Amino acid sequence: MKNILLLSDFSANSKNAIHYAMRFFKNQKCIFHLMHVHKTGSYTSDDLMHSPKESIYESITREPREKLNSIKEDLKETYKNLNHQFEIHIDFDVFIDAINQAVKNKKIDFIVIGTNGATSAKEILLGSNTINVIRKVNCKTLVIPEDYRFTPIKELLLPLDPRDVIDGKQFTDLLEFMETYQLNLNVLRVNPNKENAEIEKQDVSNLSILKCKYQVVNNVPIDFALLSYLQTNTIDFISLFVKNKGFLEHLFSKGNTKINISKIPKPMLVLHG
């Protein structure tokens, strides 16, 4: 039984990501944990005075709880999947702290979250819960682009920058994911400044046990190489290896050795090292 954390702020974007998850995990036994993190400053005096018989907690959580229950009932009615169970959770903690606690306490296997595909790096940097989850929560995460509709997946692309190495827990998690969904692997090794050519030999050795498509691109910015590959190859899903240390700079630097996920139009599986 897998435990899947579905994060909801009740936006159309988060609902779309939740519906994607229903289809993505349709053949697996799952407990879906529908979670809303309530901002402590977002309630008003009307919330506290609604009913003298209610506790402050009940007053504050009434509306989000009703919304989560509505989503749960809609999912149960829409998909009628006997493999799926649902639990709802409301937390008042700091957003990332609340998610980290849920991941630990509920033994979460995957987080599912939507992203609005904002193009402003500053906007993402300062305001995106999605980026903060990727940066600060050590759990496999599915990131679903805005308005993206589920289609069966077959071809997975693993783009690698000069710092990425095909080994360890990230690669093991990727192999398990590929085996579960019977995916074909495409590997795109990008050396923007051809600074780490020796790693190609390591790639060939580590990938020798797999049947995969492997391509090396030198002297080209990673963003350009990745988007060009997506335009010229049939890819359904992307996996990213994330290093927690320095990831913020890794993601948003203007240098040509970085990947900016706001430009990626496909669903992503983020794996932490």
Band of pLDDT at residue 73, cut at 50, 70 and 90: very high
Alpha-carbon gap, residue 26 to 107, rounded angstroms: 20
End-to-end CA distance of the chain: 24
The whole-number pLDDT of residue 264 equals 81
CATH 3.40.190.170 fits 155-272, yes or no: no
Confidence class for position 154, pLDDT limits 50, 70, 90: very high
Q: What is the pTM of this model?
A: 0.86
In this predicted structure, the answer to whether residue 198 has a pLDDT above a threshold of 70 is yes
Query: Which tokens hold the place of 194?
Result: 């051809």
Looking at every residue in the chain, the average pLDDT score rounds to 84
What is the reported pLDDT for 259? 63
User: What would the pLDDT profile of 159-190 be if each residue is shown by its tens digit?
Assistant: 998 888 898 899 999 999 999 999 999 999 99
Residues above pLDDT 70, as percent of the chain: 79
What's the sign of the alpha-carbon dihedral 58, 107, 182, 164?
Answer: positive
Nearest of 187, 159, 177 to residue 250 by alpha carbon: 159
Strands (E), 100-147: 110-115, 141-145
CA–CA separation, 39 vs 29, rounded Å? 32
Does residue 245 register a pLDDT over 60? no
The pLDDT of residue 151 is above 80 = yes
Report residue 195's pLDDT band, with 50, 70 and 90 as the boundaries. Answer: low
Query: Which residues of the chain does CATH 3.40.50.620 include?
Result: 2-145, 155-272
Given a cut of 90, whether residue 127 has pLDDT beyond it is no
Length of the chain in residues, anyone?
273
CATH number of 2-145: 3.40.50.620
**Model confidence pLDDT, tens digit, residues 7-23:** 999 989 899 999 999 99
Phi, psi for 156 (deg, rounded to 5): -115, 135
